Amino acid sequence: MLSLKKSCLSAAFRRLVWSNLAAQLAEQIGLTAAPLMAVLLFDASAAETGSLQTIQTLPFLLLALPAGILADRVSRCQMMVRAETLRALSLFCILLLAISGLLSLPMFAALGFIGVASTVVYNVAAPSLVLALVSREVLAVANGRIELARSSAYAAGPAMAGALIGWGGAASTYAVATLISIFAVVQLTRLAEPPRAVSVRQHVLHDLREGASFVLTNPLLRQTLLTAVVFNISWFILQAIYVFYAIHTLGFTASTVGITLGIYGVGMTLGAFIARHVAKWLPFGAMLVLGPLSALFGALIMALTILVPSFILAELSFFFFGVGPIIWTITSTTLRQAITPSNMLGRASAIAMMSTFGSRPIGAAIGTFIGSIYGTKACIVVSTVGFFAQCVIIGVSSVSRLRKLPEMVV
C-alpha cells in the first residue's frame, strides 16, 4: 500500500485541493450574492428569486452527461482549467455590468447560468482526477480532504458575500470572486495529470447507455441515487424561497442571511473533519444513513421557525443540513469510485450529478410554484415532508446494511 503522504498528499493532489477550495469559494460567493442582490437591488419577489434559483441549477440537468462523456475521453485537468476560466469570465462580466450600472435581473440569471455550467464540468471531472492522483486504498481520506476544502468554502463564501454586499455592493463582491476564481485556474495549470490508458472510443450514445446501465442496474448505486434525488428536490424547495423568507418573514438583513448560510458551511467543515473518525466507530452503511437523518433534523428545526421566528434556530437548522450530508457525500462518492470501473467513472459521476443536482431545478421550480401561490411557509412544510421521505428510502435500503466498503473494481 502506498503511504498516506505519497498517495494522498502529493504536490499534484495538494494543488487540486487548493484549486477546489478556490473554485468552490468563488462559486459560493456568486450563488449567495445573486438572490441577495435580486431582493435588495431589484426588489425581486419570492417567485422571481425562485426562478433565479431554477435557472442557476439547470446546467446540472442539461450538461452533466456531456461533461461525463468528455471526462472519460480527454484530459480532465484541461477540462477543469477551461471550465474555471469560463467561471472567472462570467464573474468579471457581472463586475463590469455592476460598475457601469447596466446590471439587470435577466443578466444576473444568464451569467449565473454560465458560472454554474462551469461548476458542472469541474465537479464531473474532479472525482476521476482524484482517482488518478491517489491510490484506491486511501480514497476515503482523499475525498475527505476534497470535501473539507469544499465545505470550508461553503462556510466562508456565504458569509463573505453577505459582508461584501453590505460593505461595497455587487462590484466589490464580484471583484473578490473573480480573483479567487483566477487563483483556482492558476493552481490547475500547475498540476501535472498522470497519463491515462488509451481506450477504444465508442459512439457517444453507446458510452451513454453503458454508463447509465451500470449505475441503474447496480443496486447500491441505484439506492444512493434515489435518496440523493429526493434530498436535492427537498433542499431546493427550501433554497428557492429561503432568502425571501429570511428577509421578509424572519426579518434578517443581508449580513445575517449570509451568516446563516455560512453556518451551513461550518457544519459541512465539521462533518468533513470528523468523517474519518466516525468511520472507525460506525459500519459503512450507517455512515450513509447519518446524512439523511441529519437533514431531516435540520428540516424540522427550520419548520419550527414558522412558529418561533429565530436567528438561532435558522443557524442550527443550516448546521444540521451541513454536518450530516457532507459525511454522506464523502461516503457515497467513495462507494461510487470503489465499485465503478475507472474507464467509466466520468460517466458514472455525471449520471449521479445529473440525477441529483439535476433534481435541483425541479425542486426550485416546485418551491417557486408553491411559494407564489401558497406562500413561503408552505414551501418549508413540503420540504420537510421530502426530507422525511429520503430518510425512509435510505433506511429500508440494502446499502444501509453494508458493514464495510464493497470490493473495488479495477
Q: How far is the C-alpha of 233 from the C-alpha of 370, rounded, in Å?
A: 13
User: What kind of fold does domain 13-189+203-401 have according to CATH?
Assistant: Growth Hormone; Chain: A; (1.20.1250)
Per-residue pLDDT of the chain (410 residues; tens, 9 = 90+): 334 444 445 788 889 999 999 999 998 888 888 877 777 777 877 677 777 777 877 887 788 778 877 877 788 889 999 999 999 999 999 889 888 888 888 888 889 899 889 988 898 888 878 878 877 677 777 888 888 888 788 778 877 887 888 777 778 888 999 999 999 999 999 887 777 655 555 555 666 677 677 777 788 888 888 998 999 999 989 988 888 889 888 888 877 887 887 788 788 888 888 887 888 888 888 889 999 999 999 999 999 999 999 999 999 999 999 999 889 888 888 888 777 776 676 677 777 777 777 787 788 889 888 988 888 999 999 999 999 999 999 989 888 888 887 765 44
Sign of CA dihedral 100, 25, 250, 377: positive
Answer yes or no: are the C-beta atoms of 345 and 131 closer than 8 Å.
yes
Q: What is the reported pLDDT for 184?
A: 95
Instruction: Please state the domain extents for the chain.
Output: 13-189+203-401
- In angstroms, the first-to-last Cα distance of the chain is 15
Q: What is the reported pLDDT for 205?
A: 65
CA–CA–CA angle 147, 366, 396 (5° rounding): 60
Q: How many CB atoms lie within 10 A of CB 216?
A: 13
Q: What is the reported pLDDT for 131?
A: 75
- Closest to 258 (Cα-Cα) out of 26, 35, 54: 35
Q: What is the reported pLDDT for 4?
A: 42
Q: What is the reported pLDDT for 204?
A: 57
- Closest to 133 (Cα-Cα) out of 141, 125, 142: 142
Query: What cell numbers appear for 355 in the block?
Result: 440525477
How far is CA 21 from each of CA 69, 145, 151, 153, 242, rounded to the nearest angstrom?
25, 10, 8, 6, 25
CA–CA–CA angle 375, 379, 384 (5° rounding): 150
Q: What is the reported pLDDT for 284?
A: 87
Q: How far is the C-alpha of 67 from the C-alpha of 76, rounded, in Å?
A: 10
